[in-house]
């Protein structure tokens, strides 16, 4: 498939924003149980504003993928059958919850909602955090299922697609949270970095598993089945038209095999190996964590490009001289 850079930026930016919100609420949850020192409201509030910046930027990027942006609202009308429609609905709902979560912290408005039998008080920010967490995972599932639900694109049609979307977002989000904490609450940077190491390692394992799986896929269709002729020796010598078409432009990435061989180790190093190595140093300074996040984000951009490019649409059987 031909990667669309608007979608590449959409999915990676949303993942970082979702992961950052999950990291912030994870910290607040630990603090609620006395496992970590509770930070000032501004720590969670401004961190959520940063998450909103990533979510909003990702949303803006998505409009560059639309031929008629003014009709974007129509994409939500097929929510009963379309994962894309569900994503379109869940994304603004999640952004609204992150906005409210930031607002109640920044304005210090955290009224008590319920007192548990143990005496623990659950305030409004906790309720918003729980609902926001559920919506964040729902958004990950919707985004991943847009691709995983397509049986004819076998490279995507796997539970690993959704799992990896969650892990990649969690990894980048916790690294971003570590960078944010190194500036706003230096004593807490180690907590986020520790979780970032765990999630990044799991993301690395998940991506390697998907690469191994895809390398062993055997195509169900051949040029013979594509044109309905059983002759064992069929060779296509031209694309069948004088010029290009939508099919020849949009269903193949157009890069050489050498480029594909190079980009795979590149994204594995940038997105996983280098961040793990830098985090393992234990030097949780803003500068080093900032470099770690930037390196990983560049790696995730390359990974997402490869994710789209690796999917071989069956229609390319008709255009083997192109695809």
- Give the separation between CA 164 and CA 161, rounded to whole angstroms: 5
| 3-class secondary structure, 268 | helix
Assigned token pair, 280 = 């393992």
Degrees to nearest 5, angle at CA 5 with 136 and 175? 45
pLDDT for residue 211: 95
Q: What is the residue-level pLDDT of the chain in tens, covering all 323 positions?
A: 788 889 999 999 999 999 999 999 999 999 999 999 999 999 999 999 999 999 999 999 988 877 777 777 777 888 889 999 999 999 999 999 999 999 999 999 999 899 888 888 899 999 999 999 999 999 999 999 999 999 988 899 999 999 999 999 999 999 999 999 999 999 999 999 999 999 999 999 999 999 999 998 887 777 777 778 888 887 777 666 666 677 777 777 778 788 888 999 999 999 999 999 999 998 899 999 999 999 999 999 999 999 998 888 777 777 765 54
**Topology (CATH) of 5-319:** Formate dehydrogenase/DMSO reductase fold (1.20.1630)
Tell the residue number behind the tokens 């500068």, with chain if given.
287
Say what angle helices 286-310 and 5-32 make with each other, to 10 degrees. 130
The domain limits of the chain are: 5-319
Read off the pLDDT of residues 37-77 as tens digits, 9 standing for 90 and up.
999 999 999 999 999 999 999 999 988 877 777 777 777 88
Gyration radius of the chain over CA positions:
22
Q: Which one, of 180, 125, 135, lies nearest residue 18 by Cα?
A: 135
Half-sphere exposure of 194 (CA within 13 A, CB side): 7
Q: How many CB atoms lie within 10 A of CB 200?
A: 25
Q: HSE-up of 290 (CA within 13 Å, CB side)?
A: 6
């Amino acid at each position: 498939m031909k990667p669309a850079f608007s979608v590449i930026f959409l999915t990676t930016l949303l993942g970082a924003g979702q992961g950052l919100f999950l990291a912030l609420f994870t910290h607040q949850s630990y603090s609620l149980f006395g496992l970590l020192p509770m930070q000032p409201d501004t720590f969670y509030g401004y961190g959520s504003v940063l998450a909103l910046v990533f979510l909003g930027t990702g949303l803006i990027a998505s409009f560059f993928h639309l031929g008629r942006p003014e009709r974007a609202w129509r994409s939500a009308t097929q929510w009963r059958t379309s994962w894309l429609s569900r994503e379109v609905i869940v994304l603004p709902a999640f952004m609204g919850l992150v906005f409210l979560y930031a607002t109640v912290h920044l304005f210090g408005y955290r009224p008590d909602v319920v007192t548990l039998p143990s005496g623990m008080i659950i305030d409004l920010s906790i309720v918003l955090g729980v609902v926001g967490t559920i919506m964040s995972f729902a958004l990950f599932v919707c985004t991943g299922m847009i691709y995983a639900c397509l049986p004819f694109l076998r490279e995507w049609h796997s539970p690993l697609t959704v799992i990896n979307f969650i892990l990649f977002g969690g990894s980048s989000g916790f690294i971003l949270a570590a960078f944010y904490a190194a500036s706003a609450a230096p004593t807490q940077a180690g907590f986020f970095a520790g979780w970032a190491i765990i999630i990044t390692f799991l993301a690395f394992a998940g991506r390697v598993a998907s690469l191994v799986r895809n390398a062993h896929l055997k195509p169900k269709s051949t040029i013979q089945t594509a044109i309905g002729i059983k002759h064992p020796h069929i060779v296509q010598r031209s694309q069948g038209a004088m010029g290009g078409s939508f099919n020849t432009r949009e269903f193949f990435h157009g890069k050489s095999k050498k480029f594909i061989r190079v980009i795979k180790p590149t994204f594995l190093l940038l997105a996983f190996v280098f961040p793990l190595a830098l985090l393992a140093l234990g030097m949780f300074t803003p500068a080093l964590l900032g470099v770690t996040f930037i390196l990983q984000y560049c790696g995730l951009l390359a990974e997402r490009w490869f994710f789209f490019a690796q999917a071989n649409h069956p229609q390319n059987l008709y255009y083997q001289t192109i695809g």
